[in-house]
């Protein structure tokens, strides 16, 4: 049955009334259109093949599958990244972490950067693309995640080095900047989490033992050996973890200055280890 995009969208939005914006985004992602493109074509008839694909996608959306996993991509820092079930979906607050890294890197400097637990590669790749002279290594314990990061590097023409490592166990060099968004959610927090996150995002990248502190404890032991003199470390953290982590990392870096920055919601989100301010 012939129908134009305006009618097609309205009908779907009535069926998915709690997030009508996702209907338009799903169509735009599948058609590789902008919102302006969609508006321009509102009175055009929707091809049968597009209708069939949309209904398949729409069923998954209604079942709670995140849109990013349905279309296989997400935007981060103005660039499109491939996303799969083996990687976390990029979050806006991680852009704040990247901005803090970039603020500490002169534009033309040849700085060595290590991205630990790279996942899709959004952090390391964005740093490389924003600071082209930087030398970026990206590691992950997941072979599948590394495949995604490598794919994204090729798509974005970013010259980086990806290799498998359980935290820093396979890292042999020292770096000027080390950045990580590690698993930090406690298993006790499951009841507070969105069902779609629990059901579809990789638990290896979400949860950590010891009430969410396990990976940080490993980092505290391993980072001093791989951080260059005068180097800095920037970590994404859980909103209730700041005070304990400040104490933990101060023991590992007694001569460093440790600060905590908040996210868009005013919650503790980043821990920064750097040279003491005079």
The secondary structure element, H or E, covering residue 205 is helix 203-206
Pair (57, 162) in one structural domain: no
Local confidence band at 80 (pLDDT 50, 70, 90 cut-offs):
very high
Q: How far apart are CA 178 and CA 170, in angstroms?
A: 15
Q: Is residue 104 part of a domain?
A: yes
Lowest mean pLDDT among 5-19, 64-78, 142-156, 245-259: 5-19
What confidence tens digit (pLDDT) does each residue in 170-217 have? 999 999 999 999 987 776 677 666 777 777 778 877 777 888 889 999
Residue corresponding to tokens 């049968």: 48
pTM of the predicted structure, to 2 decimals: 0.92
The closest of 167, 260, 252 to 214, measured between CA atoms, is 167
Q: Which has more confidence, 260 or 192?
A: 260
CATH number for the domain including 193? 3.40.50.150
pLDDT at residue number 201: 79
Pair (214, 114) in one structural domain: yes
What confidence tens digit (pLDDT) does each residue in 122-146 have? 999 999 999 999 999 999 999 999 9
Pair (29, 93) in one structural domain: no
Nearest 5°: the CA angle 77, 88, 111 is 50
Q: How far apart are CA 226 and CA 62, in angstroms?
A: 46
Pair (196, 271) in one structural domain: yes
Q: Is residue 69 part of a domain?
A: no
Pair (57, 89) in one structural domain: no
Mean pLDDT computed over every residue of the chain = 92
Domain that holds residue 38: 5-63
Pair (40, 170) in one structural domain: no
Q: Is residue 25 part of a domain?
A: yes
Pair (55, 167) in one structural domain: no
Q: Is residue 71 part of a domain?
A: no
Pair (92, 226) in one structural domain: yes
Q: Is residue 27 part of a domain?
A: yes
pLDDT at residue number 18: 80
pLDDT at residue number 224: 98
Q: Is residue 75 part of a domain?
A: no
What confidence tens digit (pLDDT) does each residue in 149-172 have? 999 999 999 999 999 999 999 999
Pair (137, 103) in one structural domain: yes
Q: Is residue 80 part of a domain?
A: no
pLDDT at residue number 276: 76
Local confidence band at 277 (pLDDT 50, 70, 90 cut-offs):
low
- The domain total for the chain is 2
Pair (36, 106) in one structural domain: no
Pair (143, 102) in one structural domain: yes
pLDDT at residue number 1: 67
Termini Cα distance of the chain: 72
Pair (53, 102) in one structural domain: no
Local confidence band at 16 (pLDDT 50, 70, 90 cut-offs):
confident
> Percentage of residues in the chain with pLDDT exceeding 90?
79
Q: Is residue 221 part of a domain?
A: yes
């Amino acid at each position: 049955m012939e129908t134009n995009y305006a009618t097609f969208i309205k009908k779907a939005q009535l069926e998915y009334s709690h997030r009508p914006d996702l209907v338009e985004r799903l169509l735009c992602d599948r058609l590789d259109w902008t919102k302006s493109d969609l508006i321009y074509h509102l009175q055009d008839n929707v091809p049968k093949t597009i209708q069939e694909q949309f209904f398949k996608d729409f069923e998954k959306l209604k079942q709670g599958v995140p849109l990013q996993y349905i279309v296989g991509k997400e935007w981060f820092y103005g660039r499109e990244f491939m996303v799969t079930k083996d990687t976390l979906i990029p979050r806006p607050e991680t852009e704040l972490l990247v901005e803090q890294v970039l603020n500490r890197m002169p534009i033309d400097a040849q700085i060595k950067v290590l991205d630990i637990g790279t996942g899709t590669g959004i952090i390391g790749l964005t740093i490389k693309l924003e600071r082209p002279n930087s030398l970026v290594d990206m590691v992950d314990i997941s072979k599948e995640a590394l495949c995604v990061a490598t794919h994204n590097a090729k798509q974005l023409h970013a010259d980086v080095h990806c290799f498998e490592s359980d935290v820093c166990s396979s890292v042999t060099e020292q770096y000027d900047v080390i950045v990580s968004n590690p698993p930090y959610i406690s298993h006790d927090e499951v009841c507070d989490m969105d069902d779609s996150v629990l059901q579809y995002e990789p638990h290896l990248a979400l949860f950590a033992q010891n009430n969410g502190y396990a990976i940080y404890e490993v980092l505290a032991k391993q980072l001093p050996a791989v951080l260059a003199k005068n180097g800095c470390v920037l970590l994404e953290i859980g909103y209730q973890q700041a005070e304990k982590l400040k104490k933990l990392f101060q023991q590992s870096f007694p001569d460093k200055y440790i600060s905590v920055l908040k996210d868009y919601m005013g919650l503790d989100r980043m821990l920064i280890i750097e040279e003491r301010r005079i």
